[in-house]
Amino acid sequence: MNPASPAPAQSVSRRLSEKAERFTESVIREMTRLALQYGAINLSQGFPDFPAPAEIKRAAQEAIAADINQYAITWGARSLRNAIAEKLARTQGVSVDPERELTVCCGSTEAMISTMMAIINPGDQVVIFEPFYENYGPDAILSGATPRFVKLRPPDWTFDREELAATFGPSTKAIILNTPNNPTGKVFEREELEYIRDLCVRWNAFAITDEIYEHMIYDGAKHISMASLDGMRPHSVTINALSKTYSVTGWRVGWAIAAPEVTASIRKVHDFLTVGAAAPLQEAGAAALQLPDSYYEQLAQEYTARRDRMLGILTDAGFRCFKPRGAYYIMTDISGFGFPDDVTFAKYLVKEIGVAAVPGSSFYQDAASGRTHVRFTFCKKESTFQAAAERLEKLKARAGVNK
Ligand X SMILES: Cc1ncc(COP(=O)(O)O)c(C=O)c1O
Q: Which one, 109 or 384, has the nearer CB to ligand X?
A: 109
Q: State in angstroms the smallest separation of the CB of 318 from ligand X.
A: 26
Q: State in angstroms the smallest separation of the CB of 131 from ligand X.
A: 11
Question: Which residue number has the CB closest to ligand X?
Answer: 107
Residue 232 phi, psi dihedral angles, 5° rounding? -90, -15
**329-333 and 373-377 beta bridge pairing:** antiparallel
Side chain identity at residue 169, one-letter code = G
- CA dist 377 and 197 (Å) reads 30
| Residues 6 or more apart in contact with residue 235 via CB below 8 angstroms | 197, 200, 201, 204, 205, 206, 207
Q: State in angstroms the smallest separation of the CB of 177 from ligand X.
A: 10
Residue 250 phi, psi dihedral angles, 5° rounding? -85, -5
Q: State in angstroms the smallest separation of the CB of 363 from ligand X.
A: 11
Q: Which one, 254 or 318, has the nearer CB to ligand X?
A: 254
For Cα atoms 262, 263, 269, give the angle at the middle one, nearest 5 degrees. 95
* Torsion sign across C-alpha atoms 25, 20, 124, 110: negative
Q: Which one, 339 or 363, has the nearer CB to ligand X?
A: 363
Are 277 and 131 a contacting pair, CB within 8 Å?
no
Q: Which of 179, 186, 223, 130 is nearest to 325 (CA)?
A: 186
Q: Which one, 35 or 317, has the nearer CB to ligand X?
A: 35
Q: Which one, 245 or 332, has the nearer CB to ligand X?
A: 245
Which element (helix H / strand E) includes 238? strand 236-241
Are 107 and 259 a contacting pair, CB within 8 Å?
no
- CA dist 338 and 128 (Å) reads 31
- CA dist 82 and 102 (Å) reads 9
Q: Which one, 212 or 321, has the nearer CB to ligand X?
A: 212
End-to-end Cα distance, the chain: 64
Binding site for ligand X (CB under 6 A): 46, 107-109, 133, 178, 182, 210, 212, 241, 243, 249, 254
Q: Which one, 203 or 361, has the nearer CB to ligand X?
A: 361
Q: State in angstroms the smallest separation of the CB of 239 from ligand X.
A: 8
Q: State in angstroms the smallest separation of the CB of 286 from ligand X.
A: 17
Q: State in angstroms the smallest separation of the CB of 46 from ligand X.
A: 4
Q: Which one, 159 or 337, has the nearer CB to ligand X?
A: 159
Q: State in angstroms the smallest separation of the CB of 377 from ligand X.
A: 9
Are 68 and 279 a contacting pair, CB within 8 Å?
yes
Q: State in angstroms the smallest separation of the CB of 155 from ligand X.
A: 21
Cα 22 to Cα 140, 361, 363, 371, 373: the distances in Å are 11, 16, 16, 21, 24
Q: Which one, 110 or 353, has the nearer CB to ligand X?
A: 110
